[in-house]
Amino acid sequence: MTASRSAPDRQPPDRAVEAVFRIESPRIIARVARLVGDVGLAEELAQDALVAALEQWPESGVPDNPGAWLTAVAKRRAVDLVRRHERYAVKLRELGRDLETSPAIVPGPADTDPDAIDDDLLRLVFTACHPVLPARARIALTLRLLGGLGTREIARALLSSEPAVAQRIVRAKRTLAERSVAYEVPHGPDREARLGSVLEVIYLIFNEGYAATAGDDLQRPALCEEALRLARVLAGLMPEESEVHGLAALLELQQSRSAARTGPSGEPVLLADQRRSRWNGLLVRRGFEALTRAESRSSGAPGPYLLQAAIAACHARAATYADTDWTRIAALYELLAARAPSPVVELNRAVAVCHAYGPEPALALVDALRAEPALADYHLLPSVRGDLLLRLGRGAEARTEFTRAAALTRNEQERQLLLTRAAGSGDPGVNE
């Protein structure tokens, strides 16, 4: 490969290395993991390639194909490692054959075949999101391997400490190795279950960014952007999966409202009060396109992500809040409750029922949820109930509910909004 020295007006080599590695690391790890069968080891080898680039590029210049350079170095480090362990003799011969056609650090067919890269990335997605790992470990490992985020970035994004995140990632990689989790895309009956785990992880990452559970900010844009990027990548890797496109559509449409969801001081702006001119038209169009793809690939009953995307599309199609088709939204939530029943879905259905049919039937649905253990500390339950009571003219009871909701939330912006409503200075609104 020809390497060109960086001209004075080009990006400095060390910054170029960091930028390239951030983009290419998921593919490098995916390629190497296919060879060594261990994502933890593959990440270490990718880091070794990064160190080599930091040492060599300032002198030799940034290569014409830096991603292929890093991948080739990582693969060669894998060969060196295998040579030091005789029990991997068979794997060494396999790796040797793989590198025979490219003895120099140049991008051979295996390095430039987009189908091979995509196939390896898909394996990495399914491995990082394996159900054998706890949900929080899946999120941290996915952000590390597929998002290219460092421990400090992940800790900041998840409002956790760096040691806690580091331990979580180490335990996750150790668990995958100890449980001999196959580095593969499952087939047959296992695939749907495993795909559900993958989609759940991306959805949880987005939700934590869209409505932060704790801290001073309502939103964490970086997490939303990472989740959206992962959803788009997955949609490209699995173009025939309806639910993959459904998730992508949902995230595109939800993210389109981001700029309108907070005021000048970061305070929440309820859906009814949002300036729809601030909604991102490009993301709305992308969401509609992804929803169309999801619907065209759906056979039988629609999946939960497709249904949620259809609900988000109802909001996006409404020119004003008053134009919202709440009857259709309530019907979609009823389908969602049947397809993926949960107390949170029922709570959201109650909000839609309120707007479609009035607060009384909605309050009956909410009251039925008050005994749900899963919602015992969920601040949106008393928040929604307070809104319904306020609409029914039961102000004193509404203030009690808003006060309780404020005590439960760990997000400072939400707390202030709820206390304002408890004080009676806010009009009835929608907790979205």
The residue whose two tokens read 């990582």 is 74
Per-residue confidence (pLDDT) for residue 97, from 0 to 100: 58
187 falls within a domain: no
* Number of domains the chain is built from: 4
Report residue 57 as tokens.
């590029």
User: Do the domain assignments include residue 123?
Assistant: no
For residue 103, the model assigns a pLDDT of 41
DSSP per residue over 124-173, as a string? Answer: HHHHHT-TTS-HHHHHHHHHHHTS---HHHHHHHTT--HHHHHHHHHHHH
Do both 211 and 142 map to the same domain?
A: no
Beta bridge partners of residue 63, listed in sequence order: 3
Helix (H, G, I), strand (E, B) or coil at 320: coil
Can you tell me the distance from the alpha carbon of 399 to that of 418, in angstroms, rounded to the nearest whole number? 9
315 Cβ contact partners less than 8 Å away, ≥ 6 residues apart:
253, 257, 271, 324, 329
**pLDDT value at position 9?**
41
| Residue 141 included in any domain | yes
pLDDT in tens, the chain (432 residues): 334 433 334 455 567 677 777 778 778 888 888 777 788 888 888 888 878 888 888 888 888 888 788 888 888 887 777 666 645 455 555 556 555 544 444 444 344 444 444 578 888 889 998 989 998 899 899 888 887 778 887 887 676 788 999 999 999 999 999 998 888 888 877 787 789 889 988 998 888 788 766 665 666 787 888 889 889 989 998 999 999 999 999 999 999 999 999 888 888 888 999 999 999 999 999 999 999 999 999 988 899 999 999 999 999 999 999 999 999 999 999 999 999 999 999 999 999 999 999 999 999 999 999 999 989 889 999 999 999 999 999 999 999 999 999 999 988 888 999 999 999 844 544 445
The predicted pLDDT at position 90 comes to: 56
Could you list the residue range(s) of the whole structural domain that residue 249 is in?
193-324
Q: Please tell me the predicted confidence (pLDDT) of residue 303.
A: 95
DSSP state of 302: P
Three-state DSSP at 46 gives: helix
Tell me the C-alpha distance between 131 and 129, whole Å: 6
Cα(251)–Cα(215) distance, rounded to whole angstroms? Answer: 22
d(CA 21, CA 213): 31
The predicted pLDDT at position 425 comes to 45
Q: Could you tell me if residue 1 is inside a domain?
A: no
Say if residue 149 is in the same domain as residue 89.
no
User: In this predicted structure, what is the pLDDT of residue 144?
Assistant: 87
Residue 313 phi, psi dihedral angles, 5° rounding = -65, -35
Q: How much is the pLDDT for 258?
A: 92
Q: Which of 148, 88, 106, 153 is nearest to 124 (CA)?
A: 148
Residue 174: burial class (beta carbons within 10 Å; 0-12, 13-18, 19+) = exposed
Whole-angstrom Cα distance, residue 167 to residue 137? 9
Q: Is residue 3 part of a domain?
A: no
Q: How far is CA 207 from CA 203, 236, 371, 430, in A?
A: 6, 22, 25, 18
- The answer to whether residue 176 is domain-embedded is yes
Which residue type occupies 167?
Q
My answer on whether 108 and 41 are in the same domain is yes
pTM above 0.85, yes or no: no
Element (H, E) at 202: helix 189-210
Same domain, 290 and 318: yes
Check whether residue 101 and residue 49 sit in a common domain: yes
384 contacts 351 by C-beta, under 8 angstroms: yes
The answer to whether residue 124 sits within a structural domain is: no
CA–CA dist 368, 376 (Å, integer): 13
Query: For strand 3-4 and strand 62-63, is the pairing parallel, antiparallel, or unpaired?
Result: antiparallel
- Are residues 161 and 103 located together in one domain of the fold? no
Enumerate long-range contacts of 395-401, CB under 8 Å, 24 or more apart: 395/424, 399/423, 399/424
Classified as helix, coil or strand, 3 is strand
148: domain CATH number is 1.10.10.10
Q: Would you state the pLDDT for residue 21?
A: 77
CA-to-CA distance for 74 and 89, rounded, in angstroms? 19
Closest CA to 82 of 31, 145, 37, 24: 37
332 located within any domain: no
